[in-house]
């Protein structure tokens, strides 16, 4: 039997389940989580009771009411979900080797030694499920996948929901997943799917049997070859990814669309993006602002010297905001900020006239780091850079 190297925990209907755990009156009832509390908003998550009516992520609120007249809506509470995510991570780490927290509701566990046998891996998966129910919450269910690598473990975790437990290995491939569509597989985007169709690869079995060297040509990248070899069960390590940028965007509720209010939401997005950029050790050399307005889309950007100073980035934002507003009088439907052309702080050149030491933060950037520490410690925006608006239903990316 092929040794198992990875176990993937995928929490089921996570946001809705957390709300049902927090409020017993919601248990067993159709619940949808919303980012914007009006008819034009959409559901960002749904309980399995709601999914039974056809409600899913992206379903409009008015449509959800038509599908399920008795549905209960709750506003998203990102901080609550993060706290539960961290608690689950601690519980898993007590009984297994937690390798990565992949997202707000996905966790990757490394297997080895005794746990690399299928029987022991299955026992460990059951132990993790029981520990989450006992120590985090009885309403929190998970689907767990086991495989000889990360890709197969993740695919296995998607096969049975809710509360599933499945494994994939060369011993049961590709028959175990032949019912899936190509784009059901993680890593197969619509663009890659189109390229596969162009190469007359229409189903999972044909993909599995594809020559890895041919896959490299289809993908126009070594990632195609790596994908096929991983699909066949080889222990292919995940390649470290290089950041292209940090961005946040927000579709605004009607009350935040007037320009004077939308501007404050944009300031919040800049603060959050720059904070995440500092956390990961990067500086940005390009700032971009995009607005979708009632009279059309507008955008502006500027190249800058490598920086991670929030105050400086906010001053850039204000200047670009004024430039755009001079060309438009419309309300703001959505706003997006992006920090691009990244360079690691450790690789940033010095500047004798700035003054700026090579690979070291300057004084404003050191102050920003102190503010980050304070805000993380106290869990609130104890220190902020002037006036901003924390938008409801905001979810960080990356």
Give, for all 398 residues of the chain, the pLDDT tens digit.
899 999 999 999 999 999 999 999 999 999 999 876 666 678 889 999 999 999 988 898 999 999 999 999 999 888 899 899 999 999 999 999 888 888 889 999 999 888 899 999 999 999 999 999 999 999 999 999 999 999 999 999 999 999 999 999 999 999 999 999 999 999 898 889 999 999 999 999 999 999 999 999 999 888 899 999 999 999 877 655 556 788 888 888 888 899 999 999 999 999 989 998 998 889 999 999 999 898 888 889 999 999 999 999 999 999 999 999 888 888 998 899 999 999 888 888 877 666 777 888 888 999 988 888 887 777 556 787 887 776 655 444 33
How far apart, in whole angstroms, are the C-alpha atoms of residue 67 and residue 86?
Answer: 34
Query: Which strands form 43-46's sheet, in the order they lie side by side?
Result: 43-46, 31-34, 72-75
Model pTM greater than 0.75?
no
| CA-angle at 303, arms to 360 and 348, nearest 5° | 20
Task: List the catalytic residues.
Answer: 106
Closest by Cα among 79, 88, 78, 83 to 133: 88
- Domains defined for the chain, CATH in brackets: 6-10+81-231 (3.30.70.270), 14-77 (3.40.1170.60), 245-378 (3.30.1490.100)
Closest by Cα among 208, 212, 177, 182 to 196: 182
Contact 2, 169 (CB under 8 A): yes
């Amino acid at each position: 039997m092929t040794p198992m190297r990875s176990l993937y925990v995928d929490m089921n209907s996570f946001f809705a389940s957390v709300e049902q755990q927090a409020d017993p009156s919601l248990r067993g009832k159709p619940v949808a989580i919303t980012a914007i509390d009006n008819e034009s908003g959409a559901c960002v998550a749904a309980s399995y009771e709601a999914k039974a009516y056809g409600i899913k992520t992206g379903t409009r609120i008015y449509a959800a009411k038509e599908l399920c007249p008795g549905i209960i809506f709750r506003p998203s509470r990102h901080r609550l979900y993060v706290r539960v995510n961290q608690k689950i991570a601690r519980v898993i780490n007590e009984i297994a080797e937690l390798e990565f927290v992949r997202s707000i509701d996905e966790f990757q566990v490394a297997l080895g030694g005794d746990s690399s046998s299928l029987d022991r891996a299955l026992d460990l998966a059951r132990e993790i499920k029981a520990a989450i129910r006992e120590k985090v919450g009885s309403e929190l269910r998970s689907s767990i996948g086991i495989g000889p690598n990360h890709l197969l473990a993740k695919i296995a975790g998607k096969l049975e929901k809710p509360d599933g437990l499945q494994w994939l290995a060369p011993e049961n491939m590709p028959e175990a997943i032949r019912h899936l569509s190509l784009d059901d597989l993680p890593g197969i985007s619509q663009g890659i799917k189109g390229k596969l169709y162009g190469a007359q690869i229409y189903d999972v079995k044909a993909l599995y049997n594809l020559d890895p060297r041919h896959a490299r040509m289809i993908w126009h990248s070594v990632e195609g070859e790596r994908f096929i070899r991983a699909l066949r069960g080889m222990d292919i390590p995940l390649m470290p990814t290089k950041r292209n940028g940090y961005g946040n965007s927000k579709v605004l509720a009607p009350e935040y669309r007037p320009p004077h209010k939308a501007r404050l939401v944009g300031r919040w997005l800049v603060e959050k993006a720059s904070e995440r950029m500092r956390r990961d050790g990067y500086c940005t050399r390009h700032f971009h602002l995009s607005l979708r307005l009632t009279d059309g889309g507008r955008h502006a950007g500027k190249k800058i010297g490598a920086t991670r100073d929030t105050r400086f980035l906010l001053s850039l934002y204000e200047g670009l905001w004024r430039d755009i507003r001079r060309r438009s009088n419309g309300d703001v439907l959505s706003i997006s900020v992006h920090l691009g052309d990244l360079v690691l702080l450790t690789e940033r050149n010095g500047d004798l006239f700035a003054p700026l030491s090579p690979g070291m933060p300057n004084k404003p950037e050191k102050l920003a780091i102190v503010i980050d520490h304070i805000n993380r410690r106290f869990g609130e925006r104890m220190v902020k850079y002037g006036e901003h608006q924390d938008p409801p239903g905001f979810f960080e990316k990356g």
